[in-house]
Amino acid sequence: MPVPIIYTTDLYHPHQDPDDHFDLATLFAMREFDIRAIVIDRGEGGADRPGIVAVEQMAAITRRQAPCALGMIQNVPWHGYIPDGELDGVNPIIDALRRSEQPVTIFTTGSLRDVAAAYLREPELFQRRVERLYINAGHSSGKDEWNVKLEPWAYFRMLRAHLPIYWMPCFGDGGFQTYWNFRQGDVLERAPLAVQNYIVYALSKTSPREVDPIRALERPIPEDVKEKFWSMKRNMWCTAGFLHAAGRKNGAFSFVKKRVVLDESAQTTTLSSNGGGLELMTFHQEDAGAYTQSMTGALRDLLAGLAS
């Protein structure tokens, strides 16, 4: 049975980091997922450039429709009250949970502002309907991390939520990090033309006012453009989480129970060395080399079959 999934993403066009475009393609490529809602995590940095274009392109390539909403710009206030006029990204999360007849998986990238706001409004609904909450943020060795800094309060609030949390720290020592990278040509060379154009459109920051995003999917790609973009390295974090949420077994990584110390004043999370802290299912690379090789192969295969 397909996994009902709610996906929040800091997907922008022009992009801030095009790893989000690869992640969106991964989401659409996985037939195990029934995408109930996509919420674009805007914040002030993405207020005027939500990546709706990329979602429309993915829908055209795969012929899969997914409801898409724009998330909050301001962070969640300490008292938790959000005016009704700022709930465009919060209500779809609540509605998707209410309408689902089976437990829902929530997969977050970027900040957790919209998920946290939804949880504060309907905590019992979350406890009844959320199967898993994947949190792609944080540093397992107590250092600063970008996604946490976007909205620290929401991050720590959701780590403490009474939910099945699957913590995916972006960085950390001892294999407790999701980070990996690849050469873009290694996963794009076998991809259909439309998928290649989807990535080129994002990387080149093409304006929809100048080039129609759907028509652009079938344009021939000049060799000099391929040479430029295919040789680039791309940093990634979320691929393994998608595989795990879909139930695809992969020996290159695992989730293990670890105790984590949350320091809200320093805005850090650290694996506990003395048994204290909060117990979380925490991501771990079993072998760094095998992990990178496995993720590259998985992403290559997913993109290769995306338009079929």
Domains of the chain are 3-304 (3.90.245.10)
Burial label, 85 (beta-carbon count in 10 A; 0-12, 13-18, 19+)? exposed
Cα–Cα dist 93/114, whole Å: 8
Mean pLDDT score, 112-132? 96
Q: Residue 83 has what pLDDT?
A: 78
Statement: residue 112 has pLDDT above 90: yes
Mean pLDDT score, 89-118? 96
Are 141 and 271 in contact, with CB atoms under 8 Å apart? Answer: yes
Q: Residue 84 has what pLDDT?
A: 79
Provide the β-strand partners of residue 180: 236
pLDDT band with cut points at 50, 70 and 90 for residue 307: confident
Q: Residue 308 has what pLDDT?
A: 61
pLDDT band with cut points at 50, 70 and 90 for residue 82: confident
Q: pLDDT tens digit string along 226-253? A: 999 999 999 999 999 999 999 999 999 9
Q: pLDDT tens digit string along 87-98? A: 999 999 999 999
Mean pLDDT score, 166-183? 98
Mean pLDDT score, 24-39? 98
Across the chain, what does the average pLDDT equal? Answer: 96
Amino acid present at 267: Q
Structure tokens at 275: 């048994």
Structure tokens at 240: 């393994």
Q: Residue 97 has what pLDDT?
A: 98
Percent of the chain with pLDDT over 70: 99
Burial letters for 270-297: b for 16+ Cβ neighbours within 10 Å, e otherwise? Answer: bbeeeeebeebbbbbbeeeeebbebbbe
Mean pLDDT score, 126-131? 98
Mean pLDDT score, 99-116? 96
Statement: residue 142 has pLDDT above 90: yes
Mean pLDDT score, 175-204? 98
Statement: residue 78 has pLDDT above 80: no
Mean pLDDT score, 185-206? 98
